[in-house]
Structure 1
Amino acid sequence: MEDLIKDKSTKPLIEGNVTSFENSLKSNDTEEKIDIWFYRPIGYQIALFCAKIGMTPNTVTIISIFFGVAAGILFYSQDLMINVIGMLSLVFANSLDSADGQLARMTNNKSRLGRILDGAAGDFWFISIHIALCLRSMNEGWTALIWIPGVLAGFSHVVQSAMADYYRNVHLFFIKGTSGSELDNSRDLQLEYDQLTWGRNFGMKLIARNYLNYTRMQEKFSPKLQKLLAVVRAKYKMGLPQNLIIDFRTRNKPLMKYTNIIQFNTRVIFLFLWLFLDQAWIYFFFDIFVLNPILIYMCSNQEKVSGYFYNKIVTGSEYGDQNI
């Protein structure tokens, strides 16, 4: 479980060459324009500062949780100025969320725990936001039935974020390999989970259990992709053939825009709009009836891409058995 808890010092970055802004990014294929133009530059400066003072990526992630949850609390008020402060708090939380990943890549300080915390941070933000919007709506005259779309939208958000993150890491796996992605599978996670005991590792075992369930959900929504990953791992143990990498990137890259649409930026732009209009309840229905169809479309097309490459690898000889 060393990989789960590993969180090395960031000081080597200060002593050596500072990683460029471009190298702090995951991949241009998976980055959204708003992130490239706004959040990543801010995150890069925060990451540089954190590296200088020796702050770890996980610490940055935890701080982001406080700002994100505070934003939700501030959205409870019907005072627009308080809402605006909440908006700024949420923007800063997302800047910190960008910075933790950039800091981890800049300092080569990646860990399974960091990945889990990073995913959980957004869930904490939006749990706070959904609770606040439900309570706000009840103050505005809605009955307790508003909790139904509030909870449904919450579950929708979890699935949307999980699948968007998963497909991004699948894309990175095919174009960069295991070193360039954070793609996990339930089989390996189960083995790590079984090594922990509730008596001596209660906290880590609880985290590992939740992450195992999270990964199984991602795999359940992508059966054809699981078949493709299985045959790829079995056949190309020495690395993916270059022509497979090029073909997969060409066919799969257009789907990356859908992973961005159902992630943070789109939902927050509309959330801010409805807060300005004092109609925050619309956010729940936007999540359910607009973002969910995009999720279904994204999953369906990703499965088509996975089926296409699975059939080509299994039935054809177009791709070699090792990297070329």
Structure 2
Amino acid sequence: MNWLKEYKLSLKNLHAEEPLDVYFYRPLAFIVVKTFYSLPITPNQYSLLALLSGIASGYNLLKGTSQSFKWGAFYFLLFAILDCCDGMVARLKKNGTEFGRLIDGVVDYTVNVIVYVTLALGLKKQYSPDLFQPWLLVIVAGVSKAIHSISYDHYLTEYLSYEKGDGGFVVREIEDLRGRLDESEKSNASYIRRLALKLYLGYSSIQAGNQERILVFNPRLYCEKNLRALKMWSFVGPAVHISVLIISCILNEPYLLFFYSVVFGSLWLIMMFIYQFKINQELSEEKAA
């Protein structure tokens, strides 16, 4: 099997991937995965390495110097690459677990909080208290990132629901987890496995919600009209946020991060909501015709 075929197998649903991930971060991650593929490195160990890279990034950002910001950017880039490796290894070696998916999610959230907070504290050291504080802009940018990620995840999940023709696939995945948890408790499975299932169930329920989506439109037409919209949503997706933060740190320009996350991001969000409303109107008209 050639590398291109293996690379495609290492991905999730292509429509569920951000373009920047597919063409930049994941190819770099795939090179790492293939380089060390013969070694017994598990997905969880890649997650641990990603966490350590995120902590190293935060440590350097906290120093608050132009040089340390560049190192912070390097380690955050390394985190972004390693954060892709765990899932790719799990898909290629078919050794993914509920505990591993939980760890991946926790590491992702933890590192993002660390990086935004330490970047803000590092910037605070650079500016006089009498001047306007750019570190406050970083906090606002972090909040904006959270809003953008929630919006992107919402429309991504909706698109995948239509693509599968199943509005309740997320809810059923959660119900399946509950079933496996019940079975593990009845069979006296190890405490670690039961704990992992409980934690992952809670994490999945919070992340996905428990409401089944009603597919009001024709799934094929919905996917045709929304594929471009989904790619447009990725302009405020996690991968672009990571990239802009890295560039901002290299240039030591927090205003760049603020402009992208708050100014551009907010305008893009409004435009996308209008665009989605227009698409839904067209779908409703075609349904009524």
Normalising by structure 1, we get a TM-score of 0.66
Contact 2:58/2:72, CA 8 A, preserved across alignment: yes
Change (3 A) 1:154 1:177: same
Post-superposition CA distance 1:220-249 (Å, at most 9, x none): xxxxx9332xx68xxxxxxxxxxx554233
Q: 2:222 aligns with which of 219, 223, 248?
A: 248
Q: What amino acid sits opposite 1:154 in the alignment?
A: G
Q: 1:105 aligns with which of 68, 81, 91?
A: 91
What secondary structure does 1:54 align onto? coil
What is the Cα deviation at residue 133 of structure 1?
1.9
Equivalent positions of 1:233-312 (< 5 A) are 244=218, 246-280=220-254, 283-284=257-258, 286-299=260-273, 301-302=275-276, 305=279
What secondary structure does 2:38 align onto? helix
What is the Cα deviation at residue 275 of structure 1?
2.7
CA RMSD, Structure 1 to Structure 2 (Å) = 4.1
Structure 1 distance, partners of 2:172, 2:143, is 21
What is the Cα deviation at residue 68 of structure 1?
1.9
Match of 1:226 in 2: 213
Structure 1 distance, partners of 2:203, 2:225, is 33
Verify: 1:213 aligned to 2:206, yes or no.
yes
Structure 2 distance, partners of 1:297, 1:165, is 17
Structure 2 distance, partners of 1:304, 1:104, is 39
Q: What amino acid sits opposite 1:271 in the alignment?
A: L
Q: 1:156 aligns with which of 140, 144, 147?
A: 144
Q: 2:12 aligns with which of 23, 26, 47?
A: 26
What is the Cα deviation at residue 72 of structure 1?
2.4
Q: What amino acid sits opposite 2:72 in the alignment?
A: G
Could you tell which deviates more after superposition, 141-150 or 55-64?
141-150
Structure 2 distance, partners of 1:22, 1:146, is 41
Match of 2:188 in 1: none
Q: 1:118 aligns with which of 91, 95, 104?
A: 104
Structure 2 distance, partners of 1:169, 1:29, is 11
Aligned residue pairs total 276
Could you tell which deviates more after superposition, 110-119 or 80-89?
110-119
Structure 2 distance, partners of 1:41, 1:191, is 31
Structure whose residues are more often helix by fraction: 2
Structure 1 distance, partners of 2:257, 2:156, is 25
Change (3 A) 1:17 1:32: closer
Structure 2 distance, partners of 1:300, 1:151, is 27
Change (3 A) 1:139 1:190: farther
What is the Cα deviation at residue 106 of structure 1?
1.9
Asked which structure has the greater RCO (Cα within 8 Å, sep 6+), the reply is: 2
Post-superposition CA distance 1:104-132 (Å, at most 9, x none): 22233444444443333332222111111
Contact 1:68/1:89, CA 8 A, preserved across alignment: yes
What is the Cα deviation at residue 98 of structure 1?
1.9
Equivalent positions of 1:123-202 (< 5 A) are 123-141=109-127, 149-175=137-163, 184-185=170-171, 188=174, 192=178
Change (3 A) 1:249 1:55: same
Match of 2:30 in 1: 44
Gaps (5+ residues) in structure 2?
Answer: 186-190
What is the Cα deviation at residue 26 of structure 1?
2.8
Verify: 1:89 aligned to 2:75, yes or no.
yes
Task: Give me the identity figure in percent.
Answer: 21
Q: What amino acid sits opposite 2:235 in the alignment?
A: I
Gaps (5+ residues) in structure 1?
Answer: 1-15, 220-224, 233-243, 317-324
Structure 1 distance, partners of 2:285, 2:177, is 30
Structure 2 distance, partners of 1:119, 1:245, is 29
Q: What amino acid sits opposite 1:160 in the alignment?
A: H
Contact 2:19/2:231, CA 8 A, preserved across alignment: no
Q: What amino acid sits opposite 1:252 in the alignment?
A: N
Q: What amino acid sits opposite 1:254 in the alignment?
A: R
Change (3 A) 1:253 1:126: same
Normalising by structure 2, we get a TM-score of 0.73
Change (3 A) 1:115 1:206: closer
Contact 2:73/2:247, CA 8 A, preserved across alignment: no
What is the Cα deviation at residue 66 of structure 1?
1.7
